[in-house]
Amino acid sequence: MTAMLAATDLRFLVHVDAVCNLLAFVFLVAALVAIKRGNVELHKKLIFCAVGCSAVFLGCYLTYHFTCEPVKFGHSGPIAWIYYPLLVSHVVLAVVQVPLILRTLWLGLKDRRAQHRKWAKVTTPIWLYVSVTGVVVYGLLYHY
């Protein structure tokens, strides 16, 4: 198994990560629409989809970074002034969002709605930002 994994080129995982980030964003927006319309059951299902996408992202991200050489951003000038602050804010908030997501999810599952709403007001914008900036960073790093 280890030899097979070593022989596999896992650089494709960056593309999987971009798709996972995009899907998480779409599921989050759909979950927000569902809860605004009062559809709690659909909201739960969509949030679980977003959590699943984010979990797959994290697994792929860690696998990629433990097995592949990092890609360096090869541009300077104005685009670098956009890329690096975006990257730093993305990474910092990505770390912050994990316990926020877990706490918000737990409160929702325990049907502690008042606390869940309070935490979700902080968690949701961060999660949306991290999902979108993940796609933007990917685009700048691999396709710009």
The domain ranges of the chain are 2-143
Rounded to the nearest angstrom, the gap between the alpha carbon of residue 64 and the centroid of all alpha carbons in its chain is: 15
pTM of the complete model: 0.91
The tokens of 97 are what? Answer: 């969002």
Residue 4 has pLDDT above 80, yes or no: no
- Residue 2 pLDDT class (50, 70, 90 cuts): low
Architecture of domain 2-143: Up-down Bundle (1.20)
- In the numeric block, the tokens 């325990």 are attached to 110
- Residue 140 pLDDT class (50, 70, 90 cuts): very high
- In the numeric block, the tokens 């956009």 are attached to 82
Express each pLDDT in 51-105 by its tens digit.
999 999 999 999 999 999 989 999 999 999 999 999 999 999 999 999 999 999 9
Looking at residue 8, what is its pLDDT?
79
